[in-house]
A and B are shown apart, each in its own frame.
Chain A
C-alpha cells in the first residue's frame, strides 16, 4: 500500500535544506527534546515501541540493539554511525547526509543518550565528500547553538560528534570491520563474540547504527514511537514506521522515495519509479542492494504457515510488502530496501558478471572460502562472457557459492554467494547460451 511520507525527505531538493534554520522551521529538534526529558531506560523503552528495523541491511530492531548496552560500566560508551554506504544500488543514506544532515545529528544525540555514550563517530564512506562537508557544517551549527557540547538543550549530558572518513573499502560497512578501520587498523571483520555492545570501538561498549535508522528515530520520538510504528502496514510484524525506498536501474524515475513500510516492489517500480524504461517488462529485480537474491517478476514465494501471511499468499514477490521478516520468509532479503530493476532488454549474465567483479574486488580476503571463491566465480564468469567457458565450469558456480555461504566470519560471504546462486538458478539458460554460442548470440547489454 502506498502511503508516501516526508519525515526525512521533506527538505530534499529545497534550497539550503541542510541548514539548521531550515531544519528547525520544518519542525526539527523536537524529538530530541522529548527524548532528553526521559530517563535513559525510558528512551530505550520508547525506542523499542518504534520498531525501527535497522536500515543498513540486517534489519535488527534498533531499540533492542540499544538495550544490549551495559547499564553500568567503567569504560566509556560509544555510538558509531555506519555511513559507509557502499552497497551497489544503494544511495539513501547519502541523500540524508547531503540534504538533511540535522536529522542525523538529532538522531545521534538521542542515540548517545539512550546508550549512555558521550561521543559519537560518524564513519562516512571516503567518496562522499559532500556528505562529510554537510555533516561537519551541521555539527558546527548545532554546537554554536548549544545543541551539541556540554549541555545539549540545557540537559547536563555532554555529547560530541565527530565525522571520520573511511578509506574506500566496501567491507568497512560491516560493523566490526568499520570499528577496526575507525581504530586505524586493517578493515577486516572481527570474530564475534564479543559483540560491539561488550567490546566495540577501542575495546569499549559500542552501538553501531545506520544513518537512516538514527535519522528516523528523531521523527519517531517527535511523533511518539508507538504511533510512528503504526504508520506501517507491517506493524504486526514489528516492522514499523516509514523508511526510504530506493529504486534504480531500468526505470523511468529512479530515485529515493519515502513511504510508510508496507510498500510493495510493484508499487515502488511502477507507481513511484514510473515503470520500466521503454515500457518493457521486468527481467529481474533485486530488492535491496546487490547482496540480495534476484527475483523473476512472476515468482511465487512459499510463505510460512503463520496467519499473518495469509493476506499475501498466492501473490508474486512483487506484491509482498517490503519488510524485513516478510522478505526473509519469502526466501529473499530486504537488505537496504533499494531495489534494482533489470529490463528484459538486457543480459543477466553481464549483470552477474558485474556483481561478482565487485565482490571479488571488495572481499577483504580474510577467510579462505570468500577470498578464493569470489575470485574463482569471477574468473569463470569472465570466461563465460568471453565465450571461452565450458558447461563443466558453469556447473562449478553454484558449488563454489554454496561453499562460501555460511562458512565465513562475516556476512560478506553470504552477500557474495547469494546473488551468484540466485542468478544462476533463474537464468541458467542464458549462461548456457553464452557457452554454446561462444558468447555471440546475446543482447550483450547491461544498459538500455
Chain B
C-alpha cells in the first residue's frame, strides 16, 4: 500500500483516497466542518487546510501577505505558502503533508475558527448542540482567544421550521452545506439549498416544499453546529449526561447500526444516532428508525397480567405453566417473533422442544414501505434469524396459525412478540382458549391474552438480530429493564424451570453457546469506537 507522511506519521492510503479520509482511517482527525466521509467534497469551510511540501528541488508556491511591525510602525511584506484543503487533495505516494506541525496551518485554522464565530450568537447554554459542537471543540483546540469583533453581529432568521422534524437557526449556521448534500445525495430529494450570498447566506427549503423526505434527521445528524436541531430531541437533554451503547435499529430488516444515547440517572433513552458500518447502513439511518427509540418508553407492557388483571410475574408464570400442562402438545401452538432477538426465540424454541410441542409458527409486525436507500419493507429486525432457528422445526407462517386456530387445532397459544402481521390474525387469536403472551408492548396480542408476561425491550437486553442480508449483529443493553419486565429469554427459562424442564443455561453467554450450532454467528464488521461520527 502506498504511504504519505502526515506530520511525523506514515499514513497508508488506497489510491484515489483523500488525505483527510486516509488520516481518519489511521485514527487522526484533521479538523473539519464541511467534509463528511459519506458525502461529496465541498471544501468550503477551509478548516482542514494543510501544508503540502513541494517535491524536492521544487520551490513552494508563495503568496504575498503583510505583517505589522508595532515598533517600527510599518508593514512588513511576508510570504506564506499556498495551503490546500485535505478533503479535496488526493494523497500521493511519498507526499509530505504538515498539519499540526505547520505554523501556517495553525494561523489559517485559528483564522477560520475566529471567522466562523464572528457572527455566531454564541448562545451555547440554550443550544442543543452544546457538548457535541465543533465550534466549541475547535475553539478550544485551534483558537482560544477572546472575541475581537465587538459590534452587533449579522442577524438572520431563527427557529425556522423546515418541516415536521427539523428547526433551523440561520445565525448558528456556518453554511457548510452538509444538510444540502444529505438531501441531494442520500435522500435523492434536493429540497434544501443556499440563498443570498456572502455573510447573508442561509439554508432554505425549496418554495412550496417542506423538509419531509424519509431522511430529514440525517440533516440534523450531519450538522456540525447547532443550526439544525431535531424537534424531537431539542430541549430534552444535555448530551454530556448521556451515555452511548452500540445497538442495532429494530425498525426494519436492514438492521442499521446505531448508538442508543441514554441518561443513566433516569434510565431513559433520548435518541438514536447512526453508527458507521459500511456493509449495512454506511453512515446513515432513516427517520422512522431514528425515532423508533420512542417505542422503548411508549406503549410498553411493564407488569404481568392474569385474565386481564395485574399480577406478579411469579403468579403469571405459575398460571402459564398450569395452562401449558393442561393443554398438552397436540393442541398447543408456539409462536416465535421476528420482532425479538435470536436469544429470545431460541429460548422459546428450546422450551417447545423440551415439552414436545411441534407446531411452531412465526409472527411479527406487518410489512410497510421500503426504498432502495435503507428502508426495508419488512419491518421486523430478525425475520432471517427466526427463519434460520426454526428451519429444523418446520417453522410455519402466521397464516397457517390462523388456519389452525380456525380449524380448532390450536386451542392454546404461547406467543412471543407484541404485533401480528395482519388484523385478521389478531382477531383469530381471540378465539383461542388460552393465550400466553410474552410481549414488550400493548397491542392485539396482549389485549387477547390470558396471561401476559412483560418482556424487556431491545434497549433493556442484549440481543442478536439477523438482518435481511443475513448478517448477524449484536445489540448491547443500554438501560435496566423497566417495571417488572425481564428479558424474554429469562422469563421463558423460569417458565421451563417451573415446568420441571430446565433449559440448561443460566447466563447469556451460556445461552449463546447453546444457540451457536443453530444460529452460526456472522457478525458484520462495525466501527469499534463509541462516539465516532
Contact = CB atoms under 8 A, between A and B. Distances in A.
Max count, chain A CB within 10 A of own CB: residue among B67, B108, B149, B201: B149
Nearest to B202: A365
Contacts of B119: 372, 375
Interface residues of B, number: 43
Interface stretch (A7-15, A132-140, A242-250, A356-364): A356-364
Interface in A364-386: 364-369, 371-376, 379, 383
A398 B197 contact: no
A367 B149 contact: no
Nearest to B175: A365
Contacts of B83: 406-407
Contacts of B116: 368, 372
Given A396-B148, A421-B65, A371 B201 contact: yes
Given A365-B197, A365-B201, A372-B116, A425 B46 contact: no
A114 B458 CA distance: 67
Contacts of B80: 402, 406
A357 B149 CA distance: 18
Interface in B27-77: 41-47, 49, 63-68, 74-75
A191 B66 contact: no
A398 B64 CA distance: 11
B503 to A, nearest CB: 61
B451 to A, nearest CB: 63
B329 to A, nearest CB: 68
Max count, chain B CB within 10 A of own CB: residue among A365, A379, A406: A406
Interface in A171-207: 171, 186, 191
A402 B199 contact: no
Contacts of B108: 403, 407
A379 B149 contact: yes
B174 interface: yes
Contacts of A364: 197-198
A395 B69 CA distance: 10
Interface residues of A, number: 41
A428 interface: yes
B75 A428 contact: yes
B508 interface: no
Contacts of B278: none
Contact of B118 (A186, A362, A372, A401): A372
Contacts of A399: 68, 111
Contact of A398 (B75, B149, B193): B75
B381 to A, nearest CB: 40
Interface of B: 41-47, 49, 63-68, 74-75, 78, 80, 82-83, 88, 107-108, 111-112, 115-116, 118-119, 148-149, 151, 154, 174-175, 193-194, 196-201
27 contacts: A169-B197, A191-B43, A361-B197, A362-B197, A363-B199, A365-B198, A367-B44, A367-B45, A367-B46, A368-B47, A371-B175, A371-B198, A375-B118, A375-B119, A375-B199, A376-B115, A376-B118, A400-B111, A402-B78, A403-B112, A406-B63, A406-B80, A406-B82, A407-B49, A407-B111, A424-B66, A425-B66
Given A371-B199, A407-B46, 8 more contacts: A186-B193, A368-B46, A371-B201, A373-B115, A396-B148, A406-B82, A414-B63, A425-B75
